[in-house]
């Protein structure tokens, strides 16, 4: 929903209440100024961005970049060494 800044100034409580169910875009002379969003939705979005940033900052070993890497290979190799008494 788009509303003008002057309309928002007339009755801000109405539009903050409305923002609980839908985003309210505030404009001035037809140009977007900002958006009023539901706090719960904004909090969820913030948490999602934080998780994505955290996952993106974790360095993974280069072995995972190898398309031929099989994570089960290490377990199988260790099991074979144990069977031979090498471990």
Q: State how far the Cα of 70 lies from the Cα of 26, in Å rounded to an integer.
A: 53
Q: What is the DSSP string of 11-26?
A: -HHHHHHHTTTS-EEE
Is residue 12's pLDDT more than 60? yes
For the chain, how many structural domains are there in total? 1
Note if the pTM is more than 0.75: no
Is residue 6's pLDDT more than 70? yes
pLDDT of residue 5: 94
Q: Which of 26, 22, 1 is nearest to 12 (CA)?
A: 26
What average pLDDT does the segment 81-87 reach?
Answer: 80
Q: Which domain holds residue 49?
A: 2-83
pLDDT of residue 60: 62
pLDDT of residue 78: 82
**Which helix (H) or strand (E) element contains residue 4?**
strand 2-4
């Amino acid at each position: 929903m788009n509303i003008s800044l002057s309309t928002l100034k007339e009755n801000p409580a109405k539009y903050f209440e409305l923002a609980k169910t839908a985003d309210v875009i505030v404009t001035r002379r037809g140009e977007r100024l900002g958006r009023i969003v539901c706090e719960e939705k904004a909090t969820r979005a913030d948490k999602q961005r934080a998780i994505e940033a955290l996952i993106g900052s974790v360095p993974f070993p280069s072995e995972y970049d190898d398309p031929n890497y099989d994570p089960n290979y290490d377990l199988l190799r260790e099991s074979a060494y144990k069977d031979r008494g090498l471990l």
